[in-house]
Amino acid sequence: MSEYLEFLSHHPILSSAWVAIIVLIIVGTVKGVVSSVKPLSPQQLTFMVNRENAVVVDIRADKEFKAGRIIDSLHLANEKVTKNDFSMLEKYKDKPIIVVCNAGVTASGVAAKLSKAGFAHVNILKGGMNAWLGAGLPVIK
């Protein structure tokens, strides 16, 4: 135990970095567990669309959306997201919604906004379109 205390006293910056990393891991884990937005795999997305009539909402840039998208997905432009204008999705408020971006990172922020706007079942595609394409699933242009 005395070796740990000696290490901590001689390396305060390194020790602080380790503590910060541990705290971030704990906070991220707790946030993921209590969040109303759940990540889905490409297979879970397919099941949810087929069994529960989920709506896929693609938030990528217009050019990327036109280059290849999940079948029957809706495009939600970035301008509408920044203005919290989800009027095009109002009729799907009670259906499961799955938000898709390129890598699954920006989708979580949009999904949180949708959840706050009163959408009941909001999910994200874990890994985004990269995961969808990596699974060899179809896209349309």
In a shared domain, residues 72 and 124: yes
Q: Is the dihedral of CA 75, 79, 84, 90 positive or negative?
A: negative
- Give the chain's domain count: 2
What's the pLDDT at 4?
Answer: 81
Q: Is residue 122 part of a domain?
A: yes
Q: Is residue 141 part of a domain?
A: no
Q: Is the dihedral of CA 24, 27, 29, 32 positive or negative?
A: negative
3-class SS letters over 110-140: HHHHHHHCCCCEEEEECCHHHHHHHCCCCCE
In a shared domain, residues 58 and 7: no
Pairwise pLDDT comparison (14 vs 35), residue with the higher score? 14
**What is the value of pTM for the model shown?**
0.78
Q: Is residue 44 part of a domain?
A: yes
What's the pLDDT at 9?
Answer: 87
Q: Is residue 140 part of a domain?
A: no
Nearest residue to 78 (alpha-carbon basis) of 68, 91, 65, 69:
65
What's the pLDDT at 105?
Answer: 86
Positions annotated as catalytic residues are 101
**Token code pair at residue 60:** 């990528």
* Domain residue limits at 88: 36-134
Which of 35-39, 101-105, 116-120, 135-139 is least confident?
35-39
What's the pLDDT at 102?
Answer: 93
> What is the tens place of the pLDDT at every residue in 85-109?
899 999 999 899 999 999 988 998 9
In a shared domain, residues 122 and 80: yes
In a shared domain, residues 62 and 15: no
> What is the tens place of the pLDDT at every residue in 50-95?
999 999 999 999 999 999 999 999 999 888 888 888 999 999 998 9
What's the pLDDT at 68?
Answer: 93
